[in-house]
Amino acid sequence: MVTVEMAERLIDQNNRLSITVIILSFNSKTTSMMASLTTTSKDRLRYEVVTGEDQQPAELKATDSHVQSLKPIVRKAVAKLVDPSQPDSPRLAGFVVDMYCTSMIDVADEFGVSSYLFYTCNAGFLGLLLHMQLMHDAAEEKYDMSELEDSDAELVVPSLTRPYPLKCLPYIFKSKEWLPFFVTQARRFRETKGILVNTVDELEPHALKFLSNGESDTPPAYSVGPLLHLRNEARDSVAEKKQWEILEWLDEQPARSVVFLCFGSMGGFSEEQAREIATALERGGHRFLWSLRRASPNVMKEPPEEFTNLEEILPEGFFDRTKERGKVIGWAPQVTILEKPAMGGFVSHGGWNSTLESLWFGVPTAIWPLYVEQKFNAFEMVDELGLSVEIKRYWRGDLLLGRSEMEIVTAEEIERGIRCLMEQDSVRKRVKDMSEKCHVALMDGGSSRIALQKFIQDIRDNL
């Protein structure tokens, strides 16, 4: 959905642009969800869902073979779009490819146009990824990154102002399966003519300076964020009724008094971990809204679902003792909740979209990383930028990439983190200041508007 926001912003910025968003389907659920976008196609913004005939992947693997298999279909769709025999056929100006679809750079080359990368994570992690690729390629002897799990060493990363603990390296860099995949992706990033990054100059000035100084051997970075999907949609009538009940309860709570715990579409916990969280919430005494779901053994095949009987899972008497100050729910309308005045803090998995949403609404966060780049996000937000608080210094496990044995975080650690989150005024003030800067960045003359204009001008210069 962030890609849709990007396309809409480009259309609004320049009335001479027309955009076709080609959506690569990876499963039937994605197809049905994205197919609804095609009904909203306009003259200058259209959507097309592309599905291969072969068996689609049921789980995430360290390969882009499925994307590769779709290249002929994408090539055909683009050729039809710019068919010169058709009246008023548009002129192809370039490709903007998703960070996981770099194979489509080859298609852009076939049409003789420039390709750009749309990078939905932060600039700091992009700098880490590119740096790790250079280190990997320069090493005469490839070393076993998995040995770094317990290392006390630190890594100097050009996109950070302080050394980065190797213990905080995301699992993708410690995995013999995934490291080659991401190294290959980073090499392809360098083939593009520019990189659109979902961030803000004022948020990551050091990382963006590194990416733009020419010494990093990377294409120019355009900081066009924050790109946010601020429209929540209830999934059905039952969900809509629950949503209104939650929002009404929040409206009755004092300002900045509620801590919100929510861990994204793939975040779930074991029964043991759920009990630790419940104990921390009960002991802490703060008002809370907790979006709780059970962990899935394989989130790509089976997304997290709600527990069938929370009374049996959580500590005996928990609901009776906390009913006046807390609610435990399943699915949560995250954006709508974060904008409520009652929000005092957000315990999050640290996905970059969730992080940007919290900054947009001025809600401080405590990051609990679960998968992919979120360990880096936690370090950047807590240590590098001072915009989040810490629950736990180092984390083991990855829910997404085949490393499901997540380390149990104790009630004491969670309680301490939530207390810091709700009571540290210094972090709250910095978040409020950054929130204002994020809003200004999207106004006329703001840094993100200027970056977007530079990108559009670069496209026009190519024609």
- Is pLDDT larger for residue 58 or for residue 377? 377
pLDDT number for residue 267: 93
Listed residue (359, 353, 361) closest to 337, CA to CA = 361
Is residue 91 a part of any domain in this protein?
yes
> Does 74 share its domain with 179?
yes
Measure the CA–CA gap between 242 and 291, rounded to whole angstroms: 12
The tokens for 148 are 């770094």
Count of domains for the chain: 2
Residues 433 and 448 in one domain: no
Average pLDDT score over residue span 197-216 = 91
| 448/361 same-domain check | no
402, pLDDT greater than 90? no
Radius of gyration of the CA atoms of the chain, in A: 22
pLDDT for the residue 32? 52
Mean pLDDT is lowest, of 241-245, 278-282, 314-318, for: 241-245
pLDDT at 377: 98
* 197 within domain boundaries: yes
Q: How far is residue 35's CA from residue 463's CA, in Å, rounded to a whole number? A: 31
Same-domain check for residues 29 and 175: yes
The structure's pTM equals 0.93
Residue 137: inside a domain: no
Among 36-50, 103-117, 125-139, which is the least confidently predicted range?
36-50
Mean pLDDT over 421-447 rounds to 97
Paired tokens of 200: 């803000």
Angle between helices 123-138 and 178-189 (to 10 degrees): 110
Is the model's pLDDT at 276 over the cut of 60? yes
Q: Are residues 321 and 454 in the same domain?
A: no
Mean pLDDT across the chain, nearest whole number?
90
Instruction: Select the highest-mean-pLDDT range: 64-73, 117-126, 301-310, 454-463.
Output: 117-126
Report the percentage of the chain scoring pLDDT > 70: 90
φ, ψ (nearest 5 deg) of residue 373: -85, 5
pLDDT of residue 216: 65
Average pLDDT over residues 340-347: 98
pLDDT at 289 over 70: yes
Contact 160, 207 (CB under 8 A): yes
321: domain range? Answer: 237-438
Instruction: Give the Å distances, CA to CA, from 246 to 147, 289, 361.
Output: 45, 9, 18
Residue 161 lies in a domain: no
Average pLDDT over residues 268-287: 97
Six-digit token string for 404: 């499901």
Q: Give the residue among 194, 201, 198, 196 at the shortest CA–CA distance from 220.
A: 194
Q: Place 238 in a pLDDT band, splitting at 50, 70 and 90.
A: low
Q: Are residues 353 and 404 in the same domain?
A: yes
Phi and psi based region of residue 253 (left: phi greater than 0; alpha: psi -120 to 50; beta: remaining): beta
Predicted confidence at residue 36, as pLDDT, reads 58
Q: Which of 2-16, 30-44, 398-412, 433-447 has the highest mean pLDDT?
A: 433-447
Q: 203 and 292 share a domain?
A: no
The length of the chain in residues reads: 463
Q: Tell me: do 273 and 416 sit in the same domain.
A: yes
Tell me the CATH number at 292.
3.40.50.2000
Is the residue at 156 inside a domain?
no
Return the structure tokens found at 435.
Answer: 């929130």
Tell me the percentage of the chain whose pLDDT exceeds 90: 69
Is the model's pLDDT at 156 over the cut of 60? yes
**What pLDDT, in 10s, does the model give residues 298-331?**
777 788 999 999 999 999 999 999 999 999 999 8
Question: Do the domain assignments include residue 144?
Answer: no
Whether residues 202 and 258 share a domain: the answer is no
Does one domain contain both 17 and 80?
yes
Residues 394, 246 within the same domain? yes
Whether residue 154 is contained in a domain is answered as: no
Judgement on whether residues 290 and 424 belong to the same structural domain of the protein? yes
pLDDT at 437: 98
pLDDT above 80 for 153: yes
The verdict on residue 158 lying in a domain is no
Measured CA to CA, the distance from residue 10 to residue 140 in angstroms comes to: 44
